[in-house]
Structure 1
Amino acid sequence: MATLTFYGATAGVTGSSYLLKTSNATILLDFGLFQGSREEELANSEPLPFNVADIDAIVLSHAHLDHSGRLPVLVAQGYKGPIYTTRTSRELIEVLLKDSAAIQEKDIEWENKRRQRAGKEEITPLYRLKEVMQTLELCRGLDYHQRVEIAAGIEVNFLDAGHILGSAIVELYIREGEQEKKLVFSGDLGNSQAALLKDPETVSEADILLLESTYGDRNHRSMDETLDEFEAIIQESSLYGGNVLIPSFAVGRTQEIIFRLGELYHQGKVGHQAIYLDSPMAIAVTEIYQRYQNLYNAQDRATIQSGSQQQSLHDFLPILRYSVTTEESMALNRISSGAIIIAGSGMCNGGRIRHHFKHNLWRRKTHVVFVGYQAEGTPGRALVEGAKTFKVAGEEIAVKAQIHTLGGFSAHAGQAQLINWLTTFKEPKPRLYLVHGETSAKNVFRSALQQHGWSALIPTSGETVVF
Structure 2
Amino acid sequence: MSLRLSFHGAAGCVTGFCARLETDQATVLIDCGMFQGSKTLKALNYQPFPFDAGKVDAVLLTHAHIDHSGLLPKLMLAGFEGPIYATEATRELCEVMLADAGGIQESEVAHLNRRNQQRGRPPVEPIYTEGDGRKVVRQFKRVELNEVVEVAPGVSATYWEAGHILGSTSIEVRVETAEGVQTILFSGDLGSGGRDYSPDPQGPAGVDHLVIESTYGDREREVITPDARRRLLAEELAAAHEAGGPLLIPAFAVERSQELLADLMTLMASGDAPAGDIFLDSPLAIEATEIFVRRGWNKASGRNPFKDIHASGRLKFLRDPWESDSLERLRGWHVIMAASGMCDAGRVRKHLKRLLWRREATVLIAGYQATGTLGRILLDGARNVRIQGEDIHVRARIRNLDIYSAHADATGLTAWAKARGPVRGAVFVAHGEPQGAQGLADRLAAAGFDKAKIHIPRIDQRFRLQPTGPQPLEDLQPRIASPAAARPDWHNARAQLLIDLDTRLEHAGSDEERADLIRRLARDLGR
TM bucket normalised to smaller? over 0.9
Which residue does 1:237 correspond to in 2?
A: 240
Which residue does 1:438 correspond to in 2?
A: 433
After TM superposition, list the pairs within 5 Å mapping 1:2-13 onto structure 2: 2-13=3-14
| Structure 1 stretches of at least 4 aligned residues deviating more than 6 Å after TM superposition | none
After TM superposition, list the pairs within 5 Å mapping 1:300-319 onto structure 2: 301=304, 304=305, 312-315=307-310, 318-319=313-314
Distance 1:375 1:162 in 2: 22
Distance 1:290 1:164 in 2: 14
Distance 1:318 1:416 in 2: 40
Give TM-score scaled by structure 2 length: 0.83
Give the letter for the 2:384 counterpart. Answer: T
User: SS of the residue aligned with 1:170?
Assistant: strand
Kindly provide the CA deviation profile for residues 333-376 of structure 1, in whole angstroms up to 9, marking residues without a partner as x: 22222101111110001222122222222222222111111000
Kindly provide the CA deviation profile for residues 151-184 of structure 1, in whole angstroms up to 9, marking residues without a partner as x: 1111111111111111110111112368221111
User: SS of the residue aligned with 2:378?
Assistant: helix
Which residue does 2:221 correspond to in 1?
A: 220
Give the letter for the 1:78 counterpart. Answer: G
Distance 2:348 2:63 in 1: 25
Identity over the aligned pairs, expressed in percent?
36
Give the letter for the 1:414 counterpart. Answer: D
Q: Is the 8 A contact 1:32 1:69 kept in 2?
A: yes
After TM superposition, list the pairs within 5 Å mapping 1:68-107 onto structure 2: 68-107=69-108
Greater Cα shift, 258-267 or 182-191: 258-267
Report whether the alignment pairs 1:181 with 2:179. no
Unaligned runs of 5+ in 2: 466-527
User: SS of the residue aligned with 1:173?
Assistant: strand
Distance 2:121 2:286 in 1: 38
After TM superposition, list the pairs within 5 Å mapping 1:343-354 onto structure 2: 343-354=338-349
Report whether the alignment pairs 1:419 with 2:414. yes
Give the number of the structure whose alpha-carbon radius of gyration is greater: 2
Distance 2:194 2:84 in 1: 31
Report whether the alignment pairs 1:117 with 2:115. no
Report whether the alignment pairs 1:263 with 2:279. no
Match of 1:461 among 451, 459, 462: 459
Distance 2:129 2:283 in 1: 19
After TM superposition, list the pairs within 5 Å mapping 1:130-209 onto structure 2: 130-176=131-177, 179-209=180-210
Give 1:430 deviation, angstroms. 4.5
Distance 2:111 2:349 in 1: 17
Give the letter for the 2:248 counterpart. Answer: L
Unaligned runs of 5+ in 1: 305-310
Distance 2:122 2:347 in 1: 29
Match of 2:283 among 263, 277, 280: 280
Which residue does 2:329 correspond to in 1?
A: 334
User: SS of the residue aligned with 2:128?
Assistant: coil
Q: Is the 8 A contact 1:194 1:256 kept in 2?
A: no
- The 1:242–1:211 alpha-carbon spacing in structure 2 relative to 1, beyond 3 Å, is same
Which residue does 1:405 correspond to in 2?
A: 400
How many pairs align? Answer: 459
User: SS of the residue aligned with 1:31?
Assistant: coil
Which residue does 1:451 correspond to in 2?
A: 446
Give TM-score scaled by structure 1 length: 0.94
Q: Is the 8 A contact 1:88 1:141 kept in 2?
A: no
Which residue does 1:247 correspond to in 2?
A: 250
Distance 2:8 2:122 in 1: 30
Greater Cα shift, 396-405 or 4-13: 396-405
- The 1:249–1:313 alpha-carbon spacing in structure 2 relative to 1, beyond 3 Å, is farther
Distance 2:303 2:266 in 1: 10
Give the letter for the 1:326 counterpart. Answer: P
Distance 2:230 2:297 in 1: 25
- The 1:338–1:369 alpha-carbon spacing in structure 2 relative to 1, beyond 3 Å, is same
User: SS of the residue aligned with 1:276?
Assistant: strand
Distance 2:59 2:101 in 1: 20
Aligned-CA RMSD value: 1.8
User: SS of the residue aligned with 1:121?
Assistant: coil
Distance 2:196 2:268 in 1: 16
Q: Is the 8 A contact 2:243 2:361 kept in 1?
A: no
Q: Is the 8 A contact 2:174 2:181 kept in 1?
A: yes
Kindly provide the CA deviation profile for residues 229-274 of structure 1, in whole angstroms up to 9, marking residues without a partner as x: 3211112233442211110000110011112212312331121321
Q: Is the 8 A contact 1:242 1:367 kept in 2?
A: yes
User: SS of the residue aligned with 1:223?
Assistant: coil
Give the letter for the 1:172 counterpart. Answer: V
Q: Is the 8 A contact 1:223 1:409 kept in 2?
A: no
User: SS of the residue aligned with 1:407?
Assistant: coil
Distance 1:329 1:317 in 2: 21
Q: Is the 8 A contact 2:5 2:21 kept in 1?
A: yes
